[in-house]
A = this chain, B = another copy of it.
Amino acid sequence: MALASSVVGEEQPMEQRISIVTLGVKNLAVSRRFYVDGLSWKPVYEDKEIIFFQTGGMVFALFLRDKLAEDFQANPAAFGRAPMALAYNVRTKNEVDPLMRLAEAAGATVLKSARQATWGGYSGYFADPDGFAWEVAWNPNWRMTPDGSIHIPAPNKKSS
């Protein structure tokens, strides 16, 4: 059954949002052990190729990397360490160190132990089993709402 091709109507903008973050992983059982058993994250769906987690209004996915490569028609041999990082911001500075320890106990590799950051906060980095970098950060300049959403305050205009 042919589908009607899309109607070219008025231009829709691409809103400022990300719906899904998908990490390509080598071994789903290993990833599961880290995120589900280790960090106690609860999958909302899983099968042999993919695990989905509801993370607030978005979705975090762990997908076998060969399947992901196939999905966007990439050559998996070109994959390397991802030049990207995910961050998990906390409400108080005191949450950072215990979370770094929790991640380490779950099997993460500490990339950088938590320390004072030049931008005024306190943060550390760990790598998940596939080497994806996660920052655990306390940023006193950003506002966090009870649901964990973060909001960057608009910069103060300089008086001129």
Contact = CB atoms under 8 A, between A and B. Distances in A.
Contact of A72 (B52, B112, B152): B112
A87 B79 CA distance: 19
A158 interface: no
Given A18-B55, A24-B85, 19 more contacts: A3-B122, A6-B98, A9-B94, A9-B98, A12-B102, A13-B39, A14-B39, A17-B55, A18-B88, A19-B88, A20-B150, A21-B86, A23-B84, A45-B155, A54-B151, A57-B57, A71-B85, A79-B82, A82-B82
Given A125-B71, A125-B73, A132-B84, A99 B14 contact: yes
The interface residues of chain A, by DSSP majority, are classed as mixed
Contacts of A154: 44
Contacts of A20: 85-87, 89, 135, 137, 150
